[in-house]
Amino acid sequence: MNSNKHEGESHSQNPKAPLTFVIEGKEYEAFDQYKTGAELKQLAGIPLDTELFLSISKPYQDELIENEKQVNLARPETEYFFVKKKLQFFINDKPFTWYKQYIRGAQIRELGNIPVEDDIFLDIKEGWQDDQILDDEVVDLARPGKEKFFSKPRPTEFTIIVNARPHTWKEAHISFEQLVVLAFGSYDNNPNKGYTVTYSRGWEPKPEGTMVKGSIVRVKNKMIFDVTATDKS
Domains of the chain: 2-82 (3.10.20), 87-153 (2.40.240), 158-231 (3.10.20)
Q: From the first residue on, what is the mean pLDDT of each consecutive set of 10 residues in the chain (233 residues)?
A: 45 66 92 94 90 88 92 91 89 91 92 91 86 89 89 87 95 93 92 92 88 92 94 71
| DSSP annotation string for the chain | -HHHHHHHHHHHTSPPPPEEEEETTEEEEES-SEEEHHHHHHHHT--TTS-EEE---TTSPPEEE-TT-EEETTSSSPEEEE-SS-EEEEETTEEEEESSSEEEHHHHHHHTT--TTEEEEE---TTSPPEEE-TT-EEETTSSS--EEEEEEPPS-EEEEETTEEEEE-SSEEEHHHHHHHHHSS----TTEEEEEEEES--TT-SSEEE-TT-EEE--TT-EEEEEEEE--
Query: Is-above-0.85 flag for pTM?
Result: no
What is the pLDDT at residue 15?
54
pLDDT given for residue 33 in this prediction: 92
Q: What is the pLDDT of residue 5?
A: 45
Specify the pLDDT at position 159.
94
